[in-house]
Structure 1
Amino acid sequence: MTPAQEEARPDILCIGAMLWDVIGRAPRRMAAGADVPGRIRHIPGGVALNVAIALARWGLKPAVLSAVGRDPEGEALVREAGRLGVMTGWLARDTGLPTDCYMGIEDSEGLIAAIADAHSLEEAGAAILHPLDQALADWRGPAVLDGNLTERLLAQVATDPRLAHADLRVVPASPGKAERLEPLIAARRGCFYLNRFEAQILAGHACPDAASAAQAVVRRGAARVLVTDGPNPAADAITNGPTLTLAPPSVTVARVTGAGDCFLAAHLAAELKNTPREAALHQAVQASAAHVSGKDVP
């Protein structure tokens, strides 16, 4: 590999959704059917892209493997991702599919409802992994996987020889997609980043806090699980080791979408510097809280 090729190679792969977020937020509590004044923003989104943008802020060189259309929305999304420090040269662009979109409604207490239209990513399927056969072959670095990938593709990744030496970091994208991660747990692959509701789905029972939820998923077979629980303590559980917990600082909620992605990116950035577990969890909790308060991190 030449020096130029080495320079062009990313530090981390983020595999999954890259789309436009349309987020409507009201500064008050909303009831079902409410019609209230607020703000609507169009921002780059999708779990894989959110994590990649956050990693770029930590000084890393992330690349996204996803499906993005050649429609005007896709062209604008690729330009904006590049401006934010994300490498986009390995996207599946020629699928003939439109660019995906996510729509969320938030109020002063958090997320009310959301719809994720990731049909193009799902239809593209294994095509998004084709760079692993060529430019990104023999990948041995971190690879973030998000639950917007189909269960079939996640099952393929669990045993894919092209990612056999990758440090897999897995996030479900939403509670409704948590069960898609079962093949990775069965294969004992990956470090999982979950909220308490997602962890309970994988555990198969209710858990009173993040620590018990993380431990329950470890007992299911996962080697390592990090669980967040909103303003309550987060936890980091591992096989044959102590479970760590840490309470986030109290902040005023300005946004909630993307907080978990910010947590993952901050934690991974710390671990790539060989930061101890306690300090890595602290960095992740602080970064997530800052994001919720409306600040960009770092």
Structure 2
Amino acid sequence: MTAQPDILCIGAMLWDVIGRAPRRMAAGADVPGRIRHIPGGVALNVAVALARWGLKPAVLSAVGCDPEGEALAREAERLGVMTGWLARATDLPTDCYMAVEDSEGLIAAIADAHSLEAAGDKILLPLDSDLAGWRAPVVLDGNLTEQLLAQVAKDPRLAHADLRVVPASPGKAERLEPLIAARRGCFYLNRLEAEILAGHACPDAASAAQAVVRRGAARVLVTDGPNAVAEAIANGPTLIFTPPKVTVARVTGAGDCFLAAHLAAELNNQPREAALKQAVEASSAHVSGKDVP
């Protein structure tokens, strides 16, 4: 394989099954709506969004050799994502994520990433061959096991990589502790995830981002739904940006869109303020049902 990617996205690549109702739902509700079956997983979502910004991302993940895996790999390539370095497991099914959303946002979700977890560090084998000496950005998602994230934090193959880290969900936020302890990476969190890592409640995104920086992270970006977004850095000023008001058409993937837009801006040498603005506007457009750019 001669073509080289600009960015590696390491983590979940799976099928999303998203059910959405156009009205508010109560627990146990059974209502009409729409169900979509689309490519997903944090790593793949970010990669697809990066491809829309004109970049050449590759995904390092585990995908089954079943029909679902074959179809997923084809669709990812069609969307501009390089898949030639995937770990293809003959004895494991392709992973899946299922979510239910209503007009107010996410109701509940289940992520079945057991095949990714079972593959373990096999997904990193390309770093010994085609992708050896990697120095460009790497997006890490919290669907990786805590053991593998701890390995990545100290892995000499990624010692010079620009790590961009996202938990995938509040329930997996604590998996990022090894990276904070190693003082590696720029973290993209929602307020609940930041509170988990900070160890206490925070009134807003700015205080949450600052709290995680005090824990040892060098740089933290925190979103808070429709409320102000913040970026905190060690020994520097905290930035705050308020998202535009939009009608909610979807919520799954908004954080991935935010990360991709922010990283694309920084790779285009935009300053902190402009990069944060681009990220907020892109995620808001995604929530409203649009694709940016």
- Equivalent residue, structure 2, for 1:152: 147
Q: Quote the Cα distance in structure 2 between the aligned partners of 1:249 and 1:57.
A: 22
- 1:177-256 aligned at under 5 Å gives the runs 177-256=172-251
Work out which of the residue numbers 275, 290, 296 in structure 1 matches 2:285: 290
How many Å separate the matches in 2 of 1:141 and 1:95? 31
Letter in 1 for 2:124: L
* 2:55 alignment partner, one of 21, 44, 60: 60
Task: Give the C-alpha shift of residue 119 in structure 1.
Answer: 0.1
Q: Is the CA contact 1:23–1:105 (under 8 Å) kept in the aligned structure 2?
A: yes
For the pair 1:81 / 2:72, whether they are aligned, the reply is no
Query: Residue by residue, what CA displacement relative to the aligned partner does 1:57-109 show, whole Å, maximum 9, x if unpaired?
Result: 00000000000001000000000000000000000013521100000000000
Q: Which amino acid aligns with 2:88?
A: R
Q: Which runs of 5+ in 2 are unaligned?
A: none
- Pairing partner for 1:69 from 59, 64, 71: 64
Q: CA deviation at 1:274?
A: 1.0
Please give the alpha-carbon distance, in whole angstroms, between the structure 1 residues aligned to 2:241 and 2:142: 25
Q: Give the TM-score of the pair, scaled to structure 2.
A: 0.99
Which amino acid letter does the alignment assign opposite residue 155 of structure 2?
A: D
Structure 1, unmatched stretches of 5+, are: none
> Does residue 22 in structure 1 map to residue 14 in structure 2?
no
Moved over 4 A (4+): none
Tell me the CA shift for residue 136 of structure 1: 0.2
- CA deviation after TM superposition for structure 1 residue 133, in Å: 0.3
Task: Provide the C-alpha distance between the structure 2 equivalents of 1:117 and 1:283, rounded to a whole number of angstroms.
Answer: 31
Distance 1:278 1:297 in 2: 19
Partner of 1:136: 131
Residue aligned with 1:264, SS: helix
CA distance in 1, matches of 2:119, 2:277: 37
What is residue 110 of structure 1 aligned with on the other side? 105
Contact 1:26 1:106 in 2 (8 A): yes
- String of CA shifts for 1:3-29, please: whole Å, max 9, x gaps: x83xx1000000000000000000000
What is the rounded CA distance, in whole Å, between the counterparts of 1:94 and 1:43 in structure 2?
21
TM-score, length-scaled by structure 1: 0.98
**Equivalents in 2 of 1:9, 1:222: separation in Å?**
30
- What CA distance in whole angstroms lies between the structure 2 residues aligned with 1:297 and 1:115? 27
Instruction: Give the distance between the partners of 1:95 and 1:224, measured in 2 at CA.
Output: 39
Residue 121 (1) aligns with residue 119 (2): no
Q: Distance between the aligned counterparts of 2:231 and 2:203, measured in 1?
A: 15
What is the letter of the counterpart of residue 110 of structure 2?
I
Code of the aligned partner of 2:253: G
